[in-house]
Amino acid sequence: MMEWRPDGYEFNARNLVRALFSENTDEGQLLVAAACGHVEIFANSTAWNGVLWLIMNTLKADGKPVYTGEELGALRKSLPIVWR
């Protein structure tokens, strides 16, 4: 008997940024669908590194990053993404 699995989508860094920063994009809607278990999103570590670079270099207060490494690690773990 075959196991049922939802449709899967491969995200790169650009897709992740669009999903995280705009829920009105196709990627943002797929992220919501993944959270509901309707689809699966796959991404590799290099895609996450691109997101980290963007966050650490653009979201700053008084010249320091807004988010700590712990907070960014918690964000990664909370995303409905299968990391490869």
Q: Which amino acid is at 54?
A: L
Which comes out higher in pLDDT, residue 37 or 5? 37
pTM: 0.86
Give 40-60 pLDDT, tens digit per residue.
999 999 999 999 999 999 999
CB 65 within 8 A of CB 37: no
pLDDT, one tens digit per residue, over 57-83 is: 999 999 999 999 999 999 999 999 999
Q: Kindly indicate the confidence band of residue 3, based on its pLDDT and cuts at 50, 70 and 90.
A: confident
Instruction: Return the H-helix or E-strand segment holding 40.
Output: strand 39-43
Interhelix angle 26-35/13-21, rounded to 10 degrees, is: 80
Measure the CA angle with vertex 15, ends 84 and 62; round to 5°: 100
C-alpha gyration radius of the chain = 14
Which residues are bridge partners to 83 per DSSP?
43
pLDDT at 1: 57
